[in-house]
Amino acid sequence: DQQVKQNSPSLSVQEGRISILNCDYTNSMFDYFLWYKKYPAEGPTFLISISSIKDKNEDGRFTVFLNKSAKHLSLHIVPSQPGDSAVYFCAASVEGGTGFQKLVFGTGTRLLVSP
Amino acid sequence: NAGVTQTPKFRILKIGQSMTLQCTQDMNHNYMYWYRQDPGMGLKLIYYSVGAGITDKGEVPNGYNVSRSTTEDFPLRLELAAPSQTSVYFCASSSIEGYNSPLHFGNGTRLTVT
């Protein structure tokens, strides 16, 4: 049962354009959503997050949008740069009962930004 | 600043062998986690720890054991390696400061069981 879904395995974008990565979830108990970025041979690194009480969060070129009624979130990267080429994982969190976050990850979307 | 350090980076095991994946963090984080990532899949939680001496099972714990004797170290033990355990293993840690503080990941251990 895949509770967090990233239906696009890959996305190609030209440098300077907008990249939009999408994520859908099924569990309405999720209360926090995060995006992680992963380069080859490295571990994932935290990119941006959003609480379920908000519908938008911005950090520089990165903006995450949350549509709770549709159980959908998206990551916008504007403008896209070649260094953004990586795998992006969407993750959702349910408070784990002892104060820590128990993350559920999507399968990832590989973004390729070409010069 | 080392962050989360995992060793080894690569390992090949024969079926039935055992090994320990090492993980250490220098950020004084209370929470530590082990995830595995299979090809084309997301990361799945194997075990986690909320502090020294406290561990609990995640989503896919079968075939693994963990211990947490210190805040810094969280080794993952495979007792009888099976081909289904071929995967990339990531250790992570997070701070107790603030709900939903992000996870810091190590660079992974790529394990092949043949």
First-last CA distance in chain B: 36
Closest Cα partner for B74 from B96, B91, B97, B58? Answer: B91
pLDDT digits (tens, 9 = 90+) for B62-105: 999 999 999 999 999 998 999 999 999 999 999 876 566 789 99
pLDDT digits (tens, 9 = 90+) for B46-60: 999 989 999 999 999
pLDDT digits (tens, 9 = 90+) for B18-28: 999 999 999 99
pLDDT digits (tens, 9 = 90+) for A58-74: 999 999 999 999 999 99
Distance from A66 to chain B by nearest Cα, in Å?
17
Size of interface A-B (CB pairs under 8 A): 65
Q: Do A103 and B45 touch (CB under 8 A)?
A: yes
Helix (H, G, I), strand (E, B) or coil at B12: strand
Identify the helix (H) or strand (E) that includes residue A66: strand A62-67
Residue-level pLDDT at B102: 86
Find chain B residues with C-beta within 8 A of A91's C-beta: 42
Nearest CA in chain B to A94: B100
Tokens of B54: 């406290």
